[in-house]
Amino acid sequence: MTFKQRVFSGVQPNGNLHLGNYLGAVVKFVELQTNYDCIYCVVDLHAITVWQDPKELPRTIREVTAAFIASGIDPKQHIVFNQSQVAEHAELAWIFNCVARLGWLNRMTQFKEKAGKDRERASVGLYAYPNLMAADILVYRATHVPVGDDQKQHLELSRDIAQKFNNDFGESIRAHGFGDAFFPQPEPLIQGPATRVMSLRDGTKKMSKSDPSDQSRINLTDDADTIALKVRRAKTDPEPLPSEVTGLEARPEADNLVGIYAALAGQAKADTLTEFGGAQFSTFKAALTDLLVAKLSPITAEMRRLVADPIYVDSVLADGSARAQVIAADTMKAVKDIVGFIRR
Ligand code: TYM
């Protein structure tokens, strides 16, 4: 069975977008536009699995949308929208709640991390979150999913759900003329030198929106002075930079900063080390700051401009949602037939 190639990915509107989101995901979103039809989603239904202030949520949804556009995603050529405007995501997620097994969800490390010790008080949504994520992708029967390394396990679950649906309903899928498989096995695209950007304060911890220390991350809204200060304060070790990639082993902070530089420069870590091998961190940090400011300031400025124009941003989301829904509704019709529901 061959499926039309299509890219889908999502970003949560749950706080400040940071360099990890940008290098691990958004940069890839931009690149993939050349060769694929792409759908990029602001996943607001996912965000409310933990409490979001209703007064703040519209702003964060618009901010992620602005970051997409400011980074170079073309919302006319491709689709940019917010998840809650396409009800089919939630509808397919329910069906996947009945396909996925408790044992599968119990293995999800992100739930364990996010729920923390007091698991009884976590929302049911946080637990079922990976099923909604599978629905996001599969409601468009997307074949490729660019994400950071932390989403790998969720992507594997999406593949398991697709496969189990195809197996469980195999006879019905064939009877309705969809061949041997209705859903593709979505392929994760996790590539390059910055698939896991780490905290600037601790090279063993992921850079994250939820880290209480703002010094741990570079936000897409940070100005040049803030970036310079955060890089200057970033944790390092006393040795100069190595000349070979193997020299970064057991040096998590050095590895992280070199990975960030390489990703921003569009090169491999080895190339960065050819240039900076033997240099002190003071020299390297100055070059890294210049590169960060050069790459991020135009995006930050454009984001600011877009966020100040909510009417335009909302029109992008409305247009994208309408176009996404056409595809999603088509999938849901087929899914209802396959499952055996009666529909209008
Ligand atoms: P979210 O909103 O936490 O993160 C958005 C994207 O940024 C990547 N990312 C990172 N990459 C490198 N280093 C980091 N420190 C880092 N932190 C975050 C994430 O891997 C992600 O690609 N569950 C998803 C959103 C989602 C989704 C989907 C993604 C919902 N439905 C369907 C793909 C397909 C999430 O919470 O991402």
Residue 126 DSSP symbol: H
Task: Judge whether 206 counts as a catalytic residue.
Answer: yes
Please give the model's pTM, rounded to 2 decimal places: 0.97
In CATH terms, is domain 6-195+310-339 a member of 3.40.50.150? Answer: no
Q: Report the C-alpha gap between 5 and 142 in whole angstroms.
A: 7
Q: Is 12 in the pocket of ligand 1 (CB under 6 A)?
A: yes
Q: Is 158 in the pocket of ligand 1 (CB under 6 A)?
A: no
Task: Judge whether 114 counts as a catalytic residue.
Answer: yes
One-letter amino acid of 150 = D
Residue 119 DSSP symbol: G
Q: Which pairs count as long-range contacts for 120-129, CB under 8 Å and 24+ apart, including other chains? A: 123/49, 123/50, 125/48, 125/49, 126/49, 126/50, 128/93, 128/97, 129/46, 129/49
Q: Report the C-alpha gap between 184 and 176 in whole angstroms.
A: 17
Task: Judge whether 205 counts as a catalytic residue.
Answer: no
Note the pLDDT of residue 302.
Answer: 98
170 alpha carbon – ligand 1 mean position (Å) = 31
pLDDT by position in tens, the chain (length 344): 789 999 999 999 998 899 999 999 999 999 999 999 999 999 999 999 999 999 999 999 999 999 999 999 999 999 999 999 999 999 999 999 999 999 999 999 999 999 988 899 999 999 999 999 999 999 999 999 999 999 999 999 999 999 999 999 999 999 999 999 999 999 999 999 999 999 999 999 999 998 999 999 999 999 999 999 999 999 999 999 999 999 999 999 999 999 999 999 999 999 999 999 999 999 999 999 999 999 999 999 999 999 999 999 999 999 999 999 999 999 999 999 999 999 99
17 alpha carbon – ligand 1 mean position (Å) = 10
71 alpha carbon – ligand 1 mean position (Å) = 16
Q: Is 147 in the pocket of ligand 1 (CB under 6 A)?
A: yes
CB atoms within 10 A of CB 207: 25
Q: Which of 21, 71, 156, 255 to mutate to test the pocket of ligand 1 (most atoms within 8 A of CB)?
A: 21
CATH superfamily of 214-305: Tyrosyl-Transfer RNA Synthetase (1.10.240.10)
Note the pLDDT of residue 2.
Answer: 84
Domain parsing of the chain, residue ranges: 6-195+310-339, 214-305
Note the pLDDT of residue 118.
Answer: 87
Q: Whose CA is nearest to atom 7 of ligand 1?
A: 21
